[in-house]
Amino acid sequence: MNHLIEIPIIVDHDDVDIIVEKLRILLPKVTEHLREQNRLHEWVTFFSLVAEGKFNVGHLAAQLFFDVIRFNEAKSVHGMRFTENVKQFWRYLWNKGQNFE
């Protein structure tokens, strides 16, 4: 993947300062892009909720969001592995759709 800044998948305590610095470099471009897409308010709210411990990363919508990020980062479609909860969600939708025929 051709990212602006490489961020390790496994982060130990010593890496946090490095990642914070990398995020500071990315933040102006991210902010401008989200402003142009009229999504800056939601993004700032997301960070506020995470900082306050009010965002449940276990929520299915959050897991879908994070899997979309992983999908976009994958080198190929075949390399993508969904989390178990997301797989159950897609199986449920697939089975539900089969019953509409």
Shared domain check, 80 and 32: no
The overall pTM is greater than 0.75: no
Shared domain check, 20 and 33: yes
Shared domain check, 60 and 100: yes
Shared domain check, 79 and 34: no
The number of distinct structural domains making up the chain is 2
Shared domain check, 28 and 1: yes
Question: What is the C-alpha separation between 79 and 96, in angstroms, rounded?
Answer: 26
Parent domain of 8: 1-55
Shared domain check, 40 and 84: no
Shared domain check, 34 and 9: yes
Q: What is the pLDDT along the chain (101 residues), one digit of tens a residue?
A: 455 556 555 566 667 888 888 889 999 999 999 999 999 999 999 999 999 999 998 888 898 898 888 888 877 777 777 888 888 888 888 887 766 55
